[in-house]
Amino acid sequence: MQADIRLIQRDDGRWEWILVPANNNSLAQGIVVSAITFKSRADAKIDAEQHVAAVVGKDGRTVRSEEELRHLIQLVASECFECQDTFFGDIYWHERDEMGCNWSMSTVSGQDWSACLDYLQPVAIRLRQTYNIPDKG
């Protein structure tokens, strides 16, 4: 995808990216917005570049690596007190579910893992609605 990356700092100080097709000056058509917000401009830029470099599957979903998705989840978790001692297992492939998503996280454990999952649930839903991992088999 040929796109212009626009990094925007929100009023709360967090960063997000917007992709605008390279030959489109209108923000109303064909834009893509980051699935999560970022603490730093650098993290937002890296994520936008990875998104642009990713392939789009036959179903129209952007395909990201397991490592990239795990990193995004860990970025968000690192900002939550309840997630400080939480261990996240691997991201694994499965047949597409009712969301059209083909991945889940295998394990979450730690002293306050339930509160951590409550914090991460909206992020996980947005990531699962937006991205798939490469199909297996």
* Domain spans in the chain, listed from the N-terminal domain onward: 3-53, 62-132
**What are the tens digits of pLDDT across the range 68-105?**
999 999 999 999 998 998 888 889 999 999 999 999 98
> What pTM value is reported for the model?
0.87
Task: Give the span between the Cα atoms of 58 and 102, in whole angstroms.
Answer: 13
The 10 Å CB-count burial string (b at 16+, else e) for 50-84 is ebbebeebeeebbbbeeebbbebbebbbeebebbe
DSSP summary character for residue 43:
H
**What are the tens digits of pLDDT across the range 81-91?**
989 988 888 89
